[in-house]
Structures are given as structure tokens and as C-alpha cells.
Amino acid sequence: MEAAIETKGLRRTFGELVAVDGVDLAVPRGTLYGFLGPNGAGKSTTIKCLTGLLRPSAGAMRILGIDPEMDPVAVKRKVGVVPEDLALFDRLTGAETLTFVGKVHGLDRATLQARSRELLELMDLQAASGILVADYSHGMRKKIALAAALLPAPHLLFLDEPFEGIDAVASRQIKDLLLAFVRRGGTVFLTSHILEIVEKLCDHVGVIAKGRLVAQGSLDSLRAETRRSLEEIFLDLVGAGEESAPAMEWLSG
Amino acid sequence: MIRVASVMAWLRWRLLLNHLRPTRRRDALERASRAFEVIGPVILLVLFLPGLLLAAFGGGAAGYFLPRAAGHQRQILMIVRTILSIELFMTLLAPMLRAAQGSMPNLERFLLLPIPRRYLYISDALGALGNPWLALLSAGVLLLPVGMGMAGLPLEGCVALAAGLGILLFLSGAETCFLSLASLLFRDRRRAEVASFVLVAVMASLSFLPALFSTLQRDGRRAAGVTIEQSAEETKPVASQSSSGGRLAPLSLWGLAYPPELYARSILRCADGLPAAALVPLTVLLLWGGLTHAAGLKLYERLLETPEVSSPRRRGSGLSVAWPRVPLLSDAASAIAVAEVRLVFRSVQGKIQFFILPMVMLVMSVLWTRRPESALFPAGVPLPAGLMLATLGVFFAMMTLEGTLLNQFAMDRAGLTLAFLSPISDRDLILGKAAAGAFLVASRALPAMLVAALMVPGGSVFLWLALPFMALALYAWMAPLGAILSAIFPRPVNAGKIVKQNQPHAMASILGMIGNLVAVVPAMGLAGVALFLLQSPALVLLFVMLYAGLALLLSTLLLRVAARVLARRRENLALVAQGR
């Protein structure tokens, strides 16, 4: 079966800084793929390349079998994204944001209304649907961004830190939603700093460190190979396993 | 306290310097355009230092020569009053403008630091003296006593120094007081937007007052049968009386309530060699200084106690969103156009531009109807005044759209990322923006033309009909040019505020203005030929319509070029939209 995301030698540089260095991703369809890495490892840059916000310096990509460099609009029709900055117009209301996305995707009025209602209910945003996004809290913004990404019924979801800044109830709802999405054949590619969430939620992981993909595969196989927790595997892979925090004896409490 | 004040001074200095530093992750063109933007503030900074020296020298010289100018006290009093009144105006206005621009101090951050609130207040009050207008004044008033001392009046110099410290105490107190007030007012988004709108409307209205007053004054004189020559004669005795100088009138009640007057009186008494007589205004001045700081501290404490207050959110209409479909455009382009129009009308800038232009046109029409002989337009132009006003309105409409038209991508900020992540082609994005711009120009130009037509009617109907086509032709040229310039010179802005930085990139503005002129010259030329050589208003309409048609045709081709430029600049625009 064709992979949902496939990259070969993906590389992105900013001047002399190599942010992503020859990454070969293979994300099978119907999986919940956790993309892990320490701060500045290249996670967001990789997502930006995959979603068309950044042009790779080198390498090839295929998203759902389409080359995004050749036909970016076709890829975007099948993909939903919640990026780092959430990508929302401050001066549209929540309902207008969903309407804008629906109209761009060419949804008819009835479908748009029905889906918007369901998504707003799920995200507990019905009461706030007429409020400008500028007045939303961070958690509300995250939820409306996720609702906007889900509205066109994408085949593949890119989520950059989806659980950051949202409450436990919403977090649980989103997890259930993502699992249901994957059960129905969708693919989720998410980054997260919270290893526990990735361990419980994802079935596949990729670990990036200093721009290089240092591990990739199903979580079960990784665990079976090493007989260790994801945290231990992660720390080992990114080269932080052996390091201990400096003593800093002046921190006497 | 000294440690806190020095840390705060260092913080201000670092923030200023770091503002000039470029950020990484930008391409060469973006770095060059950023460097271009930084030149202005650097030049101002460089010019400020000689200004400071000049103010100090001026203060010292004034102190030295004041005791010798006993016969010109009224004139000197008038100069000091004027300078200090401007200072006071700036001191009161600047916090409001700063607040409207969103550049208020981040008090939440300071609250977390182990600094007593009173110290924070004092460091803020001292920081107020670092503002350019107060720094220049400080140099002047602190060197003035030195001049007096050098003129052989050391005791008077000491009293003048106390008066100088008094006026600085008052002004810094007034500034911190207003800064806290403005912070309280502007920290809620909606309240801030309303206040910004009111502030701009009031300032715009104030700028028309002199012209309106002069009209009313002239009307009054005309009604009373007074000629200009008579009026000049009447002013002569007053001038000669004032030049005779003489003794100062006793301090009135309004003088006691006006600290700049108290300062002026104090130093003039010192210059007269009567330091004891300066003690009354000096004491009241110091009292004023104490009062403003007491009020300032109270407001500051209130601000610190409630740093995160905002008014309850307004509940909207919910799911039923009216989202019209723009004819001739694809779904995506139509969605972009509708979103753009909504965003602009919901921004403070958009509202201001929409409402101010008809107001300007109304005032100009009133001025014209009351004073047709005024030099509103060059003499000898054989065109009806209403038509001239309406033409001006069209140009103003184009100019007010500059902020949107010449920065149409970066102004969406994170919304641009949403557009880039959506299945929208570059061409659809450009077409959607162009359609929105057309609607916005029409929404500004048509009311302006309507006001002119209603207030100052007259002239051939063909000429009036030619105007909308002229606007169309202008916009047809500017739409692709605006898109290209917006793609090449993006500037992250916050349309919810009225900051200067919300203007488009300087290069885009300059090139846009040139483009505007280049586009209008052929239209004007054709209209001129038809009207003055061929003597036919109907031909004016025909020529302008033909020109508009040609402009539209070329515009569709140029929009394709704009789409290509956008495709090449997408990545940089995405970075700019994310504030990188």
C-alpha cells in the first residue's frame, strides 16, 4: 500500500544552518504517526516543508501519492493542517473561520452548516462561534484551528503540538477524535513534546535530532527491540541519555 | 532604588538597540528591505543628539540674556508659554498614541520581579524624562539657571533651577498619570479599538478647526462690514502695546491652574531680580508636581493590581454566517475576497479610513461653499468646484487604500498561513485580493463623490460620469502593482492598532505612489484634450471609458505576472506572516 507521506533525502537549509538534513520519512496510511525531537531538532521545519509552507532545499516528497511541488493545490485538498501559529484570521469569528475554509474547499451550504455544527459541538465552541478569534483563549484558538483542519474531511492531518495549551477534557476529546479518524482510514502526523501522549496515542513514531531522522517505525517494534520505555529510547536516540543535569549547588532551596 | 532605575534604563536602551537588529531566516531581499526601514530611526537618533546640545545651549543663553531683556517680558512670556504648552500637549497626547499603537510597557513581566511597586513607578516616571520632547526640555530648563548664574544672579539661578525641577516634576507626573490612564483604557481590545477610532477622529477634526474658524471669523467680519484694511489697522495698537513690554499682570486664577504659566512667571520674576516674588508661583508649581505624581502613583497601583482585566465578550450570531458568492470568481477566490473585505472593515484602520474620507470631503465642501474665493484649488482652473472635489476624493480613496493594497498579504498575519495551507492557487489568491480591493475602493470613492456632488453640485453630467471610470482605470493599474509590491515588500502589521508601522513598507509606498501618478497622467491628459481642445464633455467620458477598458485588459495580464511573483515569494511571505 502506498505511504501517506514519503520523503527521500528531504533537506532544508537557512543560510549555513541545516535545519533538516536528508530525512527519509515513510508514514503508512491509516496510522497515527508521532514525530518526536528536542527543541530545534527540525520538527516544525519538516512539517512546513511537507505542508508547502517552506520549499525544500533538496530531496523529494510525495503526500498521498502526489508530489506537492508539482500539484500543491491537489495535495491541500486532501490535507488538514494545524500549524505552529494556528493560522487563523484574528478578525473572523469562529463560525466565519469554518465558513471560509468550507467555501475555499467548495463545500455546499448544507454540508458546511452540518459539519460546522458538529465540530463546534465537539470542541465545545458553540457559544463562542460568533466571537472574533482575536478574543479567543489559546485553547479555544487551538480547538477552532483543529475544527478548521477537520472540516473538509481530509485524508491526512498534520498537527504541530496539538495538545499544548488545552485542558484535559478537550485533550481527551481530541484524542478520541483522532483515534476515530485513524480507525476510518485517515492518517495523522503529529509532533509533540509530551512523550506520554505519543506513547499512548501513536502506533508509529519517527525521531529527529539535529535535522536527521535517527529512528522510525512502529512503536511496538521499537519497544520490542530495546525493551525500554519511549522516554528512554527517545533520550538515547537524541543523545541526551548519558548527560546528567549540572549540579548547580547554588540552587539550595 | 538606584539599582532598579539603572536596570530599567539599561532595559530601555537594550530594547531600543535590539529593535534595530535584524532577525534570521530572511532572504536577501527581505534583509535589504529591513535595513532600509531601520535607516529612518537611526537618522532620527543621530539628529536627536545635536538637538539636545542645541536645547542646552538655548537654555543657557536664555538664562544669561533674560535679566537684560526687561522691556520684552510679554514676548518672552508668550514664547515660554507656547513652548511649554506644546510640551504639555505632547505629554498628554503621547501616552494615548502609544497606547493606541500598542507599545505600552509590559507590566505583567515587571510584576513577577522582586521590585517594590513604588520603585517601579519611580523608574517609570524617571523614564518619562527620557522621551525626546521631555529630554530636550530638561536640557533647556536645567541649563537656564546656569546662564542666570553666569549673568551674576546666583540666588535667582537657584530659584529658577527649583522652578525647572518643578515643571519637569509636573510633566513627568502628567505623563505617567496619562500613561496609566491610557493603559487602563486600552488594555481591553474592543475598548482600545473604539478609543483609537475616537482619537483619530478627534485629531482629524482638530486639524480642520483653524480653517473653519478663519471662515467663521471672516463671515463675522463680513457681516459686521469690517474690511481687511480696517482689521489690519485695529491690530496695530495691540502690537505696539505689546512691544512696549511693561510690567506683568498679576497671576490670575487660570494661571494658578496652569503649571507652564507658573514656571514662566517664576523665571521671569527671577530675571527681574525678584526671587522672593517667584516663591508663590514656584510653590504652586511644586504642589502641582506633587499632585500629579500622587495621582499617577494611585493609577499605577490600580493598573498593577488588575493587570488582566477585559470586558465581557460579545456573543455573536452563531452559525448562520452570511457569506456572499462573488460573481465571476472561483469558490476559493470568492472566499478570499469576502474574508478580505470583512477583515478590513473590522480593523481600526479600515473603519477610520472608511469614515474619515467622507468627513474630510464634507469639511472641504463646507469650506468651499463658505469661501469660494479661497485658494482651495489653483485659480483659473475652468472646472466646477464640486467635480474637482470629487476628483480629489477619488485620489484620497486610492491613498487610504494604500495600507491594504500595498501590503495585502502580510497584513493577514497568521491568516495568510491559513490561505497558504488551503487549496488556493496563486492566481485565485491574487484575484480574490484584487476583487476585495475593488470593493474597498468603491466603498470609499463613491461616498466621497456623493458628498461632493450633493454639497457642491454643478458641471456637465458627462464629467461626473467619467469620474467612476477614472477610479476604475486607476484601480485597474494599481491592483496588480499593489499585489507585486505586497509580495516583494511585505511588512507584518497589526491592523487593530493605529501604529505608524502599520503603513506598508517604505519602498512599496514610494513605488505605489509613483505607480498612482503614472496611471493618472494618461487619464488626465485624455480628459484635458477632450475638454479643453475638443471642448466636449461627452468625449471626456468616452476617452476615460476607453482608457479604463484598456487598463482593465492590461490589468488581467499583469495579474498573471503578480501571481508568478507571489509564487516565488510565498515562502518569505509565510515567514513574515509568522512574524519571523
In this structure, how many other beta carbons lie within 10 angstroms of the beta carbon of residue B563?
20
> Has residue B358 been placed in a domain?
yes
Q: Who wins on pLDDT, B250 or B147?
A: B147
Q: Which residue, of B305, B323, B339, is where some domain finishes?
A: B305
Q: Is the pLDDT of residue B382 over 70?
A: no
Q: Are B269 and B352 within one domain?
A: no
Judge: B421–A52 Cβ closer than 8 Å, yes or no: yes
Q: Tell me which chain B residues have a C-beta less than 8 angstroms from the C-beta of A99.
A: 321, 323
Judge: B413–A90 Cβ closer than 8 Å, yes or no: yes
**Best mutation target, B26, B418, B566, to test chain A (most A CBs within 10 A):** B418
Q: Is the pLDDT of residue B438 over 80?
A: yes
Mean pLDDT for B202-208 is 74
> Has residue B465 been placed in a domain?
yes
Q: Which residue, of B287, B305, B323, is where some domain finishes?
A: B305
Q: Are B501 and B558 within one domain?
A: yes
Q: Are B301 and B341 within one domain?
A: no
DSSP assignment letter at A164: T
DSSP assignment letter at B160: H
> Has residue B192 been placed in a domain?
yes
Q: Which of A55, A87, A116 sits opposite B418 (nearest CB)?
A: A87
Q: Is the pLDDT of residue B479 over 90?
A: yes
Q: Tell me which chain A residues have a C-beta less than 8 angstroms from the C-beta of B324.
A: none
Which 542-571 residues of chain B touch chain A by CB within 8 A?
570-571
Q: Tell me which chain A residues have a C-beta less than 8 angstroms from the C-beta of B342.
A: 91-92, 96
For B344, name the nearest residue in chain A, comparing CA atoms only: A91
Stated pTM of the model: 0.73
Per-residue model confidence (pLDDT) at position B104: 64
A216 CB within 8 Å of a chain B CB: no
Per-residue model confidence (pLDDT) at position B379: 54
Q: Are B261 and B372 within one domain?
A: no
Mean pLDDT, chain B, whole residue set: 81
Q: Who wins on pLDDT, A172 or B481?
A: B481
Q: Packing angle between helix B132-150 and helix B154-186, nearest 10 degrees?
A: 170
Query: Which amino acid makes up residue B94?
Result: A
In the numeric block, the cell 548547580 is attached to: A248
Q: Is the pLDDT of residue A78 over 80?
A: yes
Mean pLDDT for B117-132 is 82
Q: Are B167 and B291 within one domain?
A: yes
pLDDT tens profile A190-202: 998 788 888 889 9
Least confident interval from A178-187, B383-392, B438-447? B383-392
Mean pLDDT for A23-35 is 94
Per-residue model confidence (pLDDT) at position B242: 40
pLDDT tens profile B273-304: 888 888 989 999 999 999 999 999 998 888 87
> Has residue B317 been placed in a domain?
no
Q: Tell me which chain A residues have a C-beta less than 8 angstroms from the C-beta of B331.
A: 103-106
Query: Which amino acid makes up residue B331?
Result: D
> Has residue B325 been placed in a domain?
no
B24 CB within 8 Å of a chain A CB: yes
d(CA B170, CA B286): 7
A83 CB within 8 Å of a chain B CB: yes
Q: Is the pLDDT of residue A5 over 60?
A: yes
Q: Tell me which chain B residues have a C-beta less than 8 angstroms from the C-beta of A131.
A: 313-316
Per-residue model confidence (pLDDT) at position B551: 95
Per-residue model confidence (pLDDT) at position B102: 65
Per-residue model confidence (pLDDT) at position B169: 93
B124 beta partners: none
Q: Tell me which chain B residues have a C-beta less than 8 angstroms from the C-beta of A85.
A: 414, 417, 578-579
CA distances from A112 to A77, A234, B321 (A): 15, 41, 11
Mean pLDDT for B206-211 is 70
Q: Which of B318, B339, B413 sits opposite A130 (nearest CB)?
A: B318
Q: Is the pLDDT of residue B427 over 70?
A: yes
**Best mutation target, A89, A105, A119, A126, to test chain B (most B CBs within 10 A):** A89
Q: Is the pLDDT of residue B441 over 90?
A: yes
B23 CB within 8 Å of a chain A CB: no
Q: Are B387 and B268 within one domain?
A: no
d(CA A92, CA B174): 38
A33 beta partners: A189, A204
Q: Are B262 and B352 within one domain?
A: no
- Tell me the shortest Cα–Cα distance from A114 to chain B, in angstroms: 10
Q: Which of A89, A120, A148 sits opposite B343 (nearest CB)?
A: A89
Per-residue model confidence (pLDDT) at position B236: 43
Judge: B424–A104 Cβ closer than 8 Å, yes or no: yes
For B580, name the nearest residue in chain A, comparing CA atoms only: A85
Q: Are B491 and B359 within one domain?
A: yes
Q: Are B275 and B412 within one domain?
A: no
Q: Are B374 and B264 within one domain?
A: no
By residue count, chain B amounts to 580
Q: Tell me which chain A residues have a C-beta less than 8 angstroms from the C-beta of B189.
A: 134-135
Per-residue model confidence (pLDDT) at position B8: 74
> Has residue B197 been placed in a domain?
yes
- Tell me the shortest Cα–Cα distance from A95 to chain B, in angstroms: 6
Q: Are B557 and B447 within one domain?
A: yes
Q: Tell me which chain A residues have a C-beta less than 8 angstroms from the C-beta of B346.
A: 91, 132
The percentage of residues in chain B with a pLDDT greater than 70, rounded to a whole number, is: 78
Per-residue model confidence (pLDDT) at position B240: 38
pLDDT tens profile B315-358: 555 567 788 888 999 999 999 999 999 998 888 878 888 888 88
Which 23-52 residues of chain A touch chain B by CB within 8 A?
48, 51-52
A101 CB within 8 Å of a chain B CB: yes
> Has residue B483 been placed in a domain?
yes
How many domains in chain B?
A: 2
Judge: B578–A84 Cβ closer than 8 Å, yes or no: yes
**Best mutation target, A103, A108, A120, to test chain B (most B CBs within 10 A):** A103
Judge: B415–A103 Cβ closer than 8 Å, yes or no: no
The residue range of the domain holding B83 is 49-217+252-305
With a CB cutoff of 8 Å and minimum separation 6, the contacts of A168 are none
8 Å CB contact between B408 and B540:
no
Q: Packing angle between helix B117-128 and helix B279-305, nearest 10 degrees?
A: 130
Per-residue model confidence (pLDDT) at position B10: 75
Per-residue model confidence (pLDDT) at position B332: 92
The percentage of residues in chain B with a pLDDT greater than 90, rounded to a whole number, is: 28
Per-residue model confidence (pLDDT) at position B234: 46
Least confident interval from A131-135, A232-236, B210-214, B552-556? B210-214
Q: Among B141, B174, B145, B173, which Cα is nearest to B159's?
A: B145
Q: Are B294 and B336 within one domain?
A: no
Q: CA quadruple A193, A194, A199, A202: dihedral positive or negative?
A: negative
Question: What is the side-by-side strand order in the sheet with A32-36?
Answer: A79-82, A156-160, A187-191, A32-36, A204-209, A212-218
> Has residue B323 been placed in a domain?
no
pLDDT tens profile B70-102: 667 677 778 888 888 888 888 888 888 777 766
